[in-house]
Amino acid sequence: MTGTDRIAHPWGTRTPYGPGEPWPVRVDTYLEEGLGEADVDRWVPSATILHSNGDGLDIAVKDGRIVGVRGRAADRVNHGRLGPKDLYGWQAGNSQDRLTTPLIRRDGRLVETDWDTAMDAVAGRTRELLDERGPGSIGFYTTGQLFLEEYYALAMIAHGGIGTNHLDGNTRLCTATAATALKESFASDGQPGSYTDIDHADVIALYGHNMAETQTVLWSRVLDRLGGPNPPAIVCVDPRRTPVAEAATVHLAPVPGTNVMLMNALLHEIIENDRVDHDYVDRHTVGFKELAAQVAGCDPETAARVCDVPADDIRTAARLIGGAERLLSTVLQGFYQSHQATAAAVQVNNVHLVRGQLGRPGAGVLQMNGQPTAENTRECGADGDLPGFRNWANDAHVEELARLWNLDPLRIPHYGPPTHLMKIMRYVEEGSIRLLYVCGTNPAVSLPELRRIRRLLTQERLFLVVQDIFLSETASLADVVLPAATWGEKTGTFTNTDRTVHLSEKAVDPPGQARSDLDIFLDYADRLDLRDKDGSPLVPWRDPEEAFEAWKRCSAGRPCDYSGMSYAMLREGAVQWPCNAEHPAGGERLYADGRFFSDPAYCESYGHDMITGAPLEPDEYKSMNPFGKAVIKAAEYLPPHEPPRADLPFTLITGRTLYHFHTRTKTGRVPQLNAAAPEVWVEMSPEDARERGWAEGDLLRVTTPRGAVEARLRISGVRTGVLFLPFHYGYWDTPSGAEPDGADGRAANELTITDWDPASKQPLFKTAAAQAERVRPGDGQPAPAPTTTASKPVEPGVPETRGGPAAMADERPGGPA
């Protein structure tokens, strides 16, 4: 066994392997200091929750407490490996400041109360508003961290019981563009590729995806391919020199907001040099002629002028992508949260369609997710869409769902597109939404233009309900706070990016009076007395397994088909969907042999105009794609809405760091993770810092038209003219525990703009014009950036690593995600 400091070396030891070989096993374990595996009372199966990778693990329980985790060697996703957030993050659940009893606001203060009082207040206000103002006065905003069974219950309550169209998840902030891009190209959500494509690919292209920090175990898989025989070439598109960029064969660092122009230049080169699979295009796609016409004028020189990327580098990348025999592409926030998000992500799909690189080992695209159960949010309809990837604009789909729920179809809102998050907040601001039920997310830190968000959430006329495990910045503003159980304290299923479904078993009881989200939702439905058309309870099931069986019936025959699964099957190991009679053990890849979910009568979406966001009418789609092929959709480059100017010379982009998740409500309470990245910082290029005479550790004030943030300077590989701020840092752990009152803040979203992609409605966090000034020189200490030395003390212990023969790689996180 080798002791490894997994803060300084987050990807662990190397286990090299070659193309087509199985990825070697390496089992990572971390237990409370002083404990060994023999001291554990029992191991409870689950998977990881602080990212979207879905790494299988077992939870260690001793004396009724979670005391550690161990990677599961047989799991198809991770082969035993765990990342830093996996190894250490479970400690947050043991924090002494967990919410353990309901809270209700009395005389301006939150005070403890009992469950009946709290739930009667929530259900009572809901009934009052339904009577006085109708279902449009109720809104729900959920998370990407619940279980499938909980999302399905919430969607059934909101859509079928209350009848509101105002339901969305915080997946709107991170991967709404993933879903929309898939729907634009394939007319349905669902990832075409599989993680096992890394084992076969000869070229891997990562677009705005710092996999090294957002999916550390998946990056370990890539590193092991790079360390083995016949390694793949790596193409990285990112304005920062991240660990992915360091490993890349070619790194393209475009000006933020110019991704569409860059993608059009790559497609220009592929078409110009006839790297097109014409037979595949002719048999399985529509739209190629329009794409060829659109990119005809986008040669590398044109793109170089717009993107500030060398034309020769664009050609090199295009040669690699165009010449690949097995091409894997991944996409994440660098595209999803940038200008023209959907249009850029769709062009990645176009590369695969033009090249015929889908549906076989090594040939796939992964429009990545950012959260552990983001896929379930979308599948179950908790993002506002209809459950089972049904089409809200197809009356037959609505009628089918109504039969499943035993409702009149008119009770399910489908008069227009689901209300996306930013419009929900607008309705709160205008006063048409009077009750907002927030579950497992923290909009008072994570949404753009925070001053505005705080103002609208504190309106006297708004009844704010927050269901969470800690008293977050948002919970502190609520009228009622409901204490929820977290991972390890309840049972349910969740699905990762490549459609792998894990069952997470309850390991310990939740603290105090905290209850599972499913139990809370069922209590809410009971108190509202929601009924189907025969007078029976709308939500009849009482436990997670019953809810899963109901979901199987809802998903049967749809793209995300779970009908062949069961809890018993999942206890034997994780399974990918679709799982049905055709794929009894699960389907590894979608779209083999050019078969798509895009038939007009079956598809989830008819698509959008990617400039205006207007949905296509059913007849438009049927005319364009009568035989259900994949859609090659061209996009014109348009300049960003808030470019730099003389008084705001920088472009501000925000993002993640390896050691934290979302707004740090969990990771900020974990000693190892918080010590690795304790404070907010701002990144600037060496050239920009040198021009101003600034040094590492100087205190800067970053301003935009919306606010100001103070942060220590970190000089990094970000491109010139760009500032980077991690978005995780809020105010719950500051001395006041509250947002600034007229002073400079530390939350990056004090600065971001209220703007969103027209098709996916995802907010744009990487497109703000900014200024920076030095408040005072540093004290000689480096900026509080992520740990980069193995000598930093880590407590309470060092995880064990079992398996691979290779020595420790000297690889350390080089930048945020």
b/e per residue 371-401 (b: at least 16 CB within 10 A): bbbbbbbbbbbbbbbbbbbbbbbbeebbebb
Are the CB atoms for 668 and 674 separated by under 8 Å?
A: yes
Tokens 């659109």 map to which residue?
Answer: 294
Q: Residue 732 is part of a domain; what is its CATH number?
A: 2.40.40.20
Query: Each residue of 506-554: pLDDT tens digit?
Result: 999 999 999 999 999 999 999 999 999 999 999 999 999 999 999 999 9
* Same domain, residue pair 481 and 560: yes
State phi, psi for 690 to the nearest 5 degrees.
Answer: -65, -40
Instruction: Mention every residue, 6+ apart, whose C-beta is less than 8 A from residue 96.
Output: none
Q: Give the residues across from 138 on adjacent strands.
A: 435
* Same domain, residue pair 223 and 348: yes
Residue 794 in any domain: the answer is: no
Nearest C-alpha neighbor of 332 from the set 320, 345, 343, 349: 345
Residue 45 in any domain: the answer is: yes
Q: Residue 563 is part of a domain; what is its CATH number?
A: 3.40.50.740
Nearest C-alpha neighbor of 527 from the set 564, 597, 574, 480: 480
Listed residues 70, 96, 122: the one ending a domain: 96
Q: Three-state DSSP class for 302?
A: helix
Q: Give the residues across from 30 on adjacent strands.
A: 69
Query: Each residue of 78-128: pLDDT tens digit?
Result: 999 999 999 999 999 999 999 999 999 999 999 999 999 999 999 999 999
* Same domain, residue pair 529 and 489: yes
Listed residues 96, 126, 160: the one ending a domain: 96
Q: Output the pTM of the full model.
A: 0.95
Structure confidence at residue 516 (pLDDT): 98
Residue 513 in any domain: the answer is: yes
For the beta sheet containing 138-142, the strands, ordered from the edge strand earlier in sequence to the opposite edge, are 109-112, 103-106, 480-483, 463-468, 435-439, 138-142, 167-169
Q: What is d(CA 774, CA 779) in angstroms, rounded to the nearest whole number?
A: 13
Cα distances from 536 to residues 439, 526, 540, in angstroms, run 27, 11, 8
Are the CB atoms for 704 and 720 separated by under 8 Å?
A: no
Residue 349 in any domain: the answer is: yes
Q: What is d(CA 389, CA 392) in angstroms, rounded to the nearest whole number?
A: 9
**Token code pair at residue 359:** 């549906």
* Same domain, residue pair 510 and 613: no
Q: Residue 73 is part of a domain; what is its CATH number?
A: 2.20.25.90
* Same domain, residue pair 602 and 708: no
Share of residues in the chain with pLDDT > 90 (%): 92
Instruction: Mention every residue, 6+ apart, whose C-beta is less than 8 A from residue 145.
Output: 49, 371, 372, 373, 440, 487
Residue 636 in any domain: the answer is: no
Instruction: Mention every residue, 6+ apart, whose C-beta is less than 8 A from residue 529.
Output: none
Are the CB atoms for 629 and 282 separated by under 8 Å?
A: no
* Same domain, residue pair 183 and 305: yes
* 3-state SS record for 730-791: CCCCCCCCCCCCCCCECCHHHCCCCCECCCCCCECCCCEEEEEEEEECCCCCCCCCCCCCCC
Residue numbers in the chain where pLDDT is lower than 70? 1-3, 736-743, 780-817
Q: What is d(CA 423, CA 429) in angstroms, rounded to the nearest whole number?
A: 10
Q: What is d(CA 142, CA 460) in angstroms, rounded to the nearest whole number?
A: 22
* Same domain, residue pair 200 and 256: yes
**Token code pair at residue 389:** 């990837």
Q: Three-state DSSP class for 359?
A: coil
Q: What is d(CA 28, CA 217) in angstroms, rounded to the nearest whole number?
A: 11
Nearest C-alpha neighbor of 251 from the set 717, 762, 720: 717
CB-neighbour burial class of residue 302 (10 A; exposed 0-12, middle 13-18, buried 19+): middle
Are the CB atoms for 811 and 223 separated by under 8 Å?
A: yes
Q: What is d(CA 765, CA 339) in angstroms, rounded to the nearest whole number?
A: 9
b/e per residue 503-534 (b: at least 16 CB within 10 A): bbbbbbebbeebbbbbbbbbbbbebbebebee
Helix axis angle, 341-355 to 311-323, nearest 10°: 50
Residue 795 in any domain: the answer is: no
Residue 810 in any domain: the answer is: no
State phi, psi for 82 to the nearest 5 degrees.
Answer: -135, 150
For the beta sheet containing 575-576, the strands, ordered from the edge strand earlier in sequence to the opposite edge, are 492-495, 500-504, 575-576
Compute the Cα dihedral for 129, 131, 137, 138 and give only its sign. positive
**Token code pair at residue 781:** 């200490």
Structure confidence at residue 816 (pLDDT): 35
Instruction: Give the chain's largest Cα–Cα span.
Output: 74
Q: What is d(CA 273, CA 256) in angstroms, rounded to the nearest whole number?
A: 28
Q: What is d(CA 504, CA 405) in angstroms, rounded to the nearest whole number?
A: 26
Cα distances from 461 to residues 124, 217, 439, 559, in angstroms, run 15, 46, 20, 42
Compute the Cα dihedral for 88, 94, 97, 103 and give only its sign. positive
Q: Three-state DSSP class for 161?
A: helix
* Same domain, residue pair 362 and 509: no
Listed residues 96, 124, 149: the one ending a domain: 96
Residue type, 123: A
Cα distances from 655 to residues 146, 367, 370, in angstroms, run 22, 17, 11
Instruction: Mention every residue, 6+ apart, whose C-beta is less than 8 A from residue 118.
Output: 102, 103, 104, 480, 481, 482
Query: Each residue of 369-399: pLDDT tens digit?
Result: 989 999 999 999 999 999 999 999 999 999 9
* Same domain, residue pair 119 and 90: no
Are the CB atoms for 687 and 806 separated by under 8 Å?
A: no
Q: What is d(CA 473, CA 732) in angstroms, rounded to the nearest whole number?
A: 6
Domain count, the chain: 4
What residues make up the domain containing 260? 176-368+597-631
* Same domain, residue pair 558 and 676: no
**Token code pair at residue 470:** 């800690």
- For residue 578, whether the previous peptide bond is cis, meaning omega lies within 30 degrees of 0, is yes
* Same domain, residue pair 607 and 624: yes
Cα distances from 574 to residues 48, 78, 368, 577, in angstroms, run 13, 11, 19, 10
**Token code pair at residue 455:** 């103002």
Nearest C-alpha neighbor of 378 from the set 192, 538, 576, 143: 143
Residue type, 730: G
Tokens 């023999």 map to which residue?
Answer: 38
CB-neighbour burial class of residue 810 (10 A; exposed 0-12, middle 13-18, buried 19+): exposed
Structure confidence at residue 744 (pLDDT): 74
Q: What is d(CA 483, CA 468) in angstroms, rounded to the nearest whole number?
A: 6
* Same domain, residue pair 732 and 757: yes
Residue 459 in any domain: the answer is: yes
